[in-house]
Amino acid sequence: MRPTTFVARPSLTPLQSLLIRRWRPQWICPSRRTLLPQWLPPSTRSLSQQTPAETTKPYYVTTPIFYVNAAPHVGHMYTMLLSDVLKRWQTLKGRSAILCTGTDEHGMKIQQAAAKANTDPKTFCDTGAAVFQDLAERIGISNEIFIRTTDQKHKEGVEYAWQMLQDRGYIYESKHEGWYSVSDETFYPQGQVQLIVDPPTGRKVMVSVETGKEVEWTSERNYHFRLSGFRERLLEWYAANPDWIVPMTRMEDIVGQVTEKLEDLSISRPTSRLSWGVRVPNDESQTVYVWLDALLNYATAVGYPFTPGSESTTGFPPDIQVIGKDITRFHCIYWPAFLMALDLPPPKQILTHAHWTLGRAKMAKSTGNVVNPFFALDRFGLDAMRWYLIHEGGITDDADYDNSFVIEKYKKNLQGGLGNLLGRIMRAKNWDVRKAVQRYAHPDLDPKEDPAVFTESGHDEDDSHRRFYGRVRALPGQVEKHMIDLHPNRALRTIMILIHSANGYLQNASPWTLATQLRSIMADTTGQEMHELSRLGLSPEDLEAAIERVVYLNAETLRLAGICLQAFIPESAGRLLDMLGVAPKRRSWEWCVIGKDDGYGTPLVDLGKGEQGVLFPALSSDR
């Protein structure tokens, strides 16, 4: 192995990092055939020196890149959907947003899986990547980028980052001994492994405490990253950004790990053992550690190495990174440390979600305990699965998957809840939704004020309208709060709770009974019923207004819910708004205010009859 050619420096303080000499270009980007630009920290340039484009940052959401050693399962689908909902929510609110997903295609597991399949690694990866791309298309995620770590531009970005880290003294060469997991592609310190008895075999094995995967003692000479030198900087970052990791319990766990001990990280493997990966620049005997390679995808996907000052125009750093809870350490310790060493900003927030289990056991490709997402989509349909996984999936706690649960929740919430309310309002012959909207919409009213007709109290009936009006009015703010807190499941549940309340409110108000009474009065040739109504101080117009008040509040519930649901179940939400007659230009967040839209009520599509044209038809398995 060649000797090192640099002088190792101690870990750098933030000020030293800022003042460190500029990198002298030594490496040429093959695809550009030009020397990459010298690095200049963005913080050294004043706002007056930045162009307008540089201060306009797209909202950047990422999924983890998925390992292609086996086919995807519902857990991968859930991660994609969470990311998609967060991205669509920003688009709904009028912000430019980009979503990146992709595949991780290097490392020991790929090398072994390809050998087992009797094919070369690149062909194996091409097949695996195509399956994940197909899944992304099938579930309708709105990704602008699908990155593969075998892409040439990614390889060049990894080589550039390595050169930068090495030039700054963050990389050194040394012998490494430790517990290595082939499955997790990582070394574990002594405190993160334990001895267990494997139940099927009775064999005593060492496993990772975090993942339960088997580890083996390995000794080899490779390159290391000075991770230990970033302990204080990481702790300062966590302290300054207490909501950086969601949920808080995982933030506390990460802080505990860094506080207790932070060891330097082995970031290469001998080529003799691992040949499938990015080779270390200027040292063909070593392959870049798969996690350094993989984590850099979030930067290379949007153009790293960046032209100085242009980072934010690409979207970097990510606003939200969505990951499973089992890869928190890599994304919340290693990743920000790498970025700090490269003088790039860490992501703004990381959402670490819980797992989907099957039979209360974690879904895992290695054990075969999985749900095939393609089979589930074929059986239940796209939006049924989107709705179920987001509504029932866990952020803090695991959720158990069962086909019977999908059917039960679909019938109760989508068919019997949302679809039922839409049908009862839009298909009824007893009233005209358009007239109700024209009577009660108040687009010119100050949003902070409420029409008196919905706030009057004094009678139980008036109180029921007032209370329900207040719940509808509060919906957008409640949903937005949950989305800001990175709990899409709670946001969706809030919408569905209001839908169920609306069905109850409609049932109690019983406008069809009032409509029958009104028809009877209008058809009464003797005038007796009109006289009785007059005796109560009412007129037919009052009765008609009471009917339309109930109809309008339910129509507004559907309209506001439909606007919000575009981030969760975009196809069904679009059909719902079509059936309500909401103009396409009035479906953005600015219109998600009670009373703002006075133009809907006439369907834009044929509502059909019976099962034809319903928003949520019977599942194919029920037909």
Amino acid 117: pLDDT = 93
Render pLDDT for 322-359 as a digit per residue (tens, 0 to 9). Answer: 999 999 999 999 999 999 999 999 999 999 999 999 99
8 Å CB contact between 290 and 107 = yes
Q: Where are the domains of the chain?
A: 55-383, 415-622
Dihedral pair phi/psi, residue 306, rounded to 5°: -80, 145
Q: Which residue has the higher pLDDT, 40 or 192?
A: 192
Q: What would the CATH number be for the domain defined by 55-383?
A: 3.40.50.620
Amino acid 456: pLDDT = 64
DSSP string computed for 397-447:
S-EEE-HHHHHHHIIIIIIIIIIHHHHHHHS-SS--HHHHHHHH--TTS-T
Q: At 176, which helix (H) or strand (E)? A: strand 171-181
Write the secondary structure of 302-357 as one string of H (helix), E (strand) and C (coil): CCCCCCCCCHHHHCCCCCEEEEEHHHHHHHHHHHHHHHHHCCCCCCCCEEEECCEE
High-pLDDT (> 70) share of the chain, %: 86
Q: Helix or strand or coil: residue 389? A: helix
Q: What angle do CA 412, 414, 416 make, to 5 degrees?
A: 50
Q: Is the alpha carbon torsion for 205, 207, 213, 216 positive or negative? A: negative
8 Å CB contact between 583 and 600 = yes
Render pLDDT for 399-432 as a digit per residue (tens, 0 to 9). Answer: 999 999 999 999 999 999 999 999 999 998 889 9
How many whole angstroms separate alpha carbon 60 and alpha carbon 337?
Answer: 20
CB-facing half-sphere around the CA of 285: CA atoms within 13 A: 8
* CA 460 and chain centroid, separation: 43
Q: Give, as one character, the DSSP assignment of residue 52.
A: G
Is 473's pLDDT higher than 80?
yes
Render pLDDT for 198-225 as a digit per residue (tens, 0 to 9). Answer: 777 778 888 888 778 888 887 788 999 9
Instruction: Answer whether 55-383 and 415-622 agree in fold.
Output: no
Closest CA to 219 of 262, 265, 174: 174
8 Å CB contact between 267 and 171 = yes
How many whole angstroms separate alpha carbon 337 and alpha carbon 7?
Answer: 21
Closest CA to 295 of 278, 270, 271: 278
Render pLDDT for 573-611 as a digit per residue (tens, 0 to 9). Answer: 999 999 999 999 999 999 999 999 999 999 999 987 777
Residue recorded with tokens 């005593």? 204
How many whole angstroms separate alpha carbon 160 and alpha carbon 182?
Answer: 26
Single-letter amino acid code for the residue at 353 = H
How would residue 533 be classed by pLDDT, with cut points 50, 70 and 90? low
CB-facing half-sphere around the CA of 289: CA atoms within 13 A: 23
User: Which residues on neighbouring strands pair with residue 246, listed in sequence order?
Assistant: 351
pTM across the whole model: 0.85
8 Å CB contact between 468 and 505 = yes
Q: Which CATH number does the domain 415-622 belong to among 3.30.420.10, 1.10.730.10, 3.30.70.60, 3.40.50.620?
A: 1.10.730.10
Closest CA to 608 of 433, 435, 426: 426
Q: Helix or strand or coil: residue 234? A: helix
Amino acid 451: pLDDT = 85
User: Which residues on neighbouring strands pair with residue 268, listed in sequence order?
Assistant: 288
Is 29's pLDDT higher than 90?
no
Q: What angle do CA 166, 104, 233 make, to 5 degrees?
A: 45
Rounded (to 5) percent helix, strand, coil in the chain: 50, 15, 35
Is 496's pLDDT higher than 80?
yes
